[in-house]
Amino acid sequence: MSNRAGGIFINNGELERNNLINSTVRRIDYPTLRDAISDWDILSGETLPVAFDFSEAPLRWKKAL
């Protein structure tokens, strides 16, 4: 679940946007890496709304402390 906080998929999205990775590879949880990036990369413009909740969670936790 920690990779859904944005970091991993933001990095993968940047690599994909610059044609530095093959995003057609298959995943267990998504048909392809491209599908996962489009859902969870908060910079992609195609992100699931829930991805923004995960990306903001660390900030909310810090305020709660």
Q: Check residue 3 and give its pLDDT.
A: 53
pLDDT of 49 above 90: no
Alpha helix stretches (DSSP H) within 1-65: 7-17, 33-40, 49-64
pTM for the whole structure: 0.68
Residue given tokens 């910079």 in the structure block: 43
User: Of how many residues is the chain composed?
Assistant: 65
Element of type H or E holding 4: none
Q: State the pLDDT at residue 35.
A: 93
